Amino acid sequence: MAIEFECDSCGSNARYVGRPAVYALDGIEFLCEPVTAYSRPAWCYKCNTLVDAEQLMGANFYAQQLDAFRRSGLSEHDREFIALTNRAEPQYRKSISDAWKIVLSAARVRLSKPRCFTCGSIEISYIPEYDLESHDILSFPHPNCSGSFVRVANSFINIALLYLDGEGRRKIATEHLKD
C-alpha cells in the first residue's frame, strides 16, 4: 500500500510505499521467512523524500528466532510451504534452520547502518511518529521546511521484491535463487 502526503507549508508531495525485501545471502536455498528484511518509513536525505528503509533487527533477534524455530513445531504457514515446494519435513526444517543461521552470521558481522531501500544511502532518519502498532503515519515534519507532511490519501500499487546483501545493498534479482 502507498500512503500519500502533502506538506501543509510548501505543498510538496511525498509517498510512502512499504517495500517487500529479502536478504539474498549465499547458502540460502529458497525464499523463506528468515530472510525478510524488516523496514520502516524514513526520510532519506539523499533521495530527499520519504522512503522505506531497513530496520536492523540485530544478532540477538535472529538467535532467538533460530532457538524458537528449533523448539517449536511447524506452523500452518510452514506446512503450506512444504506442500507447495514438495519437500520432506526434515529437509524443510534443516533448510529453515540453516537460513536462520546464515542471517544470524550476517547480522553478527554487519558493519553498515540501516539503508534507504531506494538508493542505499545511510543518511536517513526514521519518521518518529511512525506507529509500530497500526503501521499508520498521520503527519510528520518536512525536513528543511517549516511545514508538516499530512496524510492525504491511500493507494494500492504493486511493487517488486528487493534483494539485498548482508550489508543492505541492493543485488540483482534472482542470481541467488536456485529454486
Interface residues toward Zn ion, by CB under 5 A: 7, 9-10, 44, 46-47, 116, 118-119, 121, 142, 145, 147
Which CB, 44 or 102, lies closer to Zn ion? Answer: 44
**Pick from 55, 59, 48: which is nearest to 126 by CA?**
55
CB-CB contact of 149 with 142 (8 Å) = yes
Q: How far is the CB of 84 from Zn ion (least distance, A)?
A: 35
CA distance 121 to 2: 21
C-beta of 42: minimal distance to Zn ion in Å?
9
Closest CB 11 distance from Zn ion, rounded Å: 7
Please say which residue, 105 or 141, places its beta carbon nearer to Zn ion: 141
Measured from the CB atom, is 16 or 100 closer to Zn ion? Answer: 16
Q: Burial letters for 12-36: b for 16+ Cβ neighbours within 10 Å, e otherwise? A: eebebbebebbbbbeebbbbbebbe
